[in-house]
């Protein structure tokens, strides 16, 4: 047993502290698979955990990081063997179970997804929970029956992680994508991902009406609050909005009008406890439908030592696209 580098969160007199330090392997939690972590990523939730802005962490000490990709070093789980390439998103990693910003992780084999063929561990973390959530949202819209011929789709928080991947996926599938952003200076970036139109997010942040002019057949919302309420009121008859985020707030000041007068559906998306079969499908679809050139264009690489500096920026909406974190 030795030590390894990790970003550790400890309880302090007021709130929590986070630091890059050595972690004792003997302190790793129970699990039947030990993974050498090669890459991780920085998601909005990681920003909340690292800064202590929301009570994401529910065990101390904690190793932060909700996503990892790497290879198996040791396993007593029948499905996994040394050398297997794996991805892990959520399941309480970095919240209740020691997480991803570490050279080693000990986890449950039942939580792992096999890295899809043709994808590298770095690609998988460029996707990360944000991209996998975008895919879960697309799957939910497809299951609802949404097709490109039904009309445009809207993506909010467009220049963020979920938004960027959602635009790339939906445009590849043939949808006319309307991207809503607070950073209209990123119009070129959003169009390069496949957005057909870019709108200023202030159009969607005013006081929502029960029903407004029908603008889209569906959408993916990572913003919540009045934005989601406006999205619902502007959704066409029979359409659906996949709600996955709360970048503007947890509230939802809507009415039942879109649901009972237009048959609009609100589809809830959770990535953390999502069943394994749906995760495997999402990762297979990401391998097939996400343009790898676009993925590399939206991805910015940092080292483990930069994570603490960049964490507040993601909460401030200053990060464009996705960040991968090189661990080893």
Binding site for ligand NDP (CB under 6 A): 43-45, 129-130, 133, 157-163, 181-183, 201, 222-223, 227, 244-248, 269-272, 314, 317, 319
Q: Please identify, using beta-carbon distances, which residue of 173 and 179 lies nearer to ligand NDP.
A: 179
Q: Please identify, using beta-carbon distances, which residue of 34 and 299 lies nearer to ligand NDP.
A: 299
Q: Please identify, using beta-carbon distances, which residue of 72 and 179 lies nearer to ligand NDP.
A: 179
Nearest distance from residue 261's CB to ligand NDP, in Å?
26
Nearest distance from residue 140's CB to ligand NDP, in Å?
11
Strand partners, 63: 8
Q: Please identify, using beta-carbon distances, which residue of 159 and 177 lies nearer to ligand NDP.
A: 159
Phi, psi angles (nearest 5°) of residue 228: -65, -40
3-state DSSP helix/strand/coil % of the chain, to nearest 5: 35, 30, 35
Question: How many other CB atoms are there within 10 angstroms of residue 274's CB atom?
Answer: 17
Comparing C-alpha atoms, which of 204, 211, 245 is closest to residue 227?
Answer: 204
Q: Please identify, using beta-carbon distances, which residue of 72 and 195 lies nearer to ligand NDP.
A: 195
Nearest distance from residue 66's CB to ligand NDP, in Å?
9
Strand partners, 70: 37, 86
Nearest distance from residue 71's CB to ligand NDP, in Å?
25
Phi, psi angles (nearest 5°) of residue 300: -125, 135
Per the CB < 8 A criterion, the answer to whether 43 and 314 are in contact is yes
Q: Please identify, using beta-carbon distances, which residue of 23 and 91 lies nearer to ligand NDP.
A: 91
Nearest distance from residue 272's CB to ligand NDP, in Å?
6
Q: Please identify, using beta-carbon distances, which residue of 42 and 72 lies nearer to ligand NDP.
A: 42
Question: How many other CB atoms are there within 10 angstroms of residue 11's CB atom?
Answer: 14
- As a whole number of angstroms, the distance between CA 227 and CA 134 comes to 18
Distances (CA, A) of 78 to 33, 74, 311: 10, 11, 37
Nearest distance from residue 241's CB to ligand NDP, in Å?
13
276-289 and 161-172 helices, crossing angle to 10°: 70
Comparing C-alpha atoms, which of 164, 152, 151, 229 is closest to residue 197?
Answer: 152
Give me the torsion for CA of 136, 141, 147, 152, rounded to 10°: -100
Nearest distance from residue 89's CB to ligand NDP, in Å?
8
Q: Please identify, using beta-carbon distances, which residue of 260 and 273 lies nearer to ligand NDP.
A: 273
Nearest distance from residue 246's CB to ligand NDP, in Å?
4
Q: Which residue is nearest to ligand NDP (CB)?
A: 160
**Residue whose entry in the numeric block shows the structure tokens 């400890």:** 10
**Residue whose entry in the numeric block shows the structure tokens 């990709």:** 69
């Amino acid at each position: 047993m030795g030590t390894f580098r990790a970003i550790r969160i400890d309880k302090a007199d007021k709130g929590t502290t986070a630091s890059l330090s050595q972690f004792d392997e003997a302190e790793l939690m129970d699990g039947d698979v030990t993974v050498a972590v090669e890459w991780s990523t920085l998601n909005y939730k990681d920003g909340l955990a690292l800064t202590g802005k929301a009570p994401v962490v529910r065990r101390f000490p904690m190793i932060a990081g909700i996503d990892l990709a790497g290879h198996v070093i040791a396993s007593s789980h029948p499905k996994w063997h040394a050398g297997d390439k794996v991805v892990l998103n959520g399941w309480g990693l970095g919240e209740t179970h020691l997480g991803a910003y570490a050279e080693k992780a000990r986890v449950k084999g039942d939580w792992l997804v096999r890295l899809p063929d043709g994808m590298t561990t770095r690609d998988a973390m460029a996707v990360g929970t944000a991209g996998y959530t975008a895919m879960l949202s697309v799957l939910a819209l497809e299951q609802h029956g949404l097709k490109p011929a039904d009309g445009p789709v809207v993506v909010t928080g467009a220049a963020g992680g979920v938004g960027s991947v959602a635009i790339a996926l939906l445009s590849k599938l043939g949808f006319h994508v309307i991207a809503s952003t607070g950073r209209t200076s990123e119009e070129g970036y959003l169009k390069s991902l496949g957005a057909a139109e870019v709108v200023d997010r202030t159009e969607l942040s005013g006081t929502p009406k029960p029903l407004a002019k029908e603008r889209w057949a569906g959408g993916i919302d990572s913003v919540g609050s009045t934005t989601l309420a406006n999205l619902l009121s502007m959704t066409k008859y029979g359409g659906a909005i996949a709600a996955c985020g709360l970048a503007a707030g947890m509230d939802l000041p809507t009415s039942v009008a879109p649901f009972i007068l237009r048959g609009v559906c609100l589809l809830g998306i959770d990535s953390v406890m999502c069943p394994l079969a749906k995760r495997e499908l999402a990762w297979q679809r990401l391998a097939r439908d996400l343009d790898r050139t676009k993925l590399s264009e939206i991805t910015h690489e940092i080292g483990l030592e930069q994570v603490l500096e960049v964490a507040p920026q993601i909460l401030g909406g200053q990060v464009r696209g996705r960040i991968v974190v090189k661990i080893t």
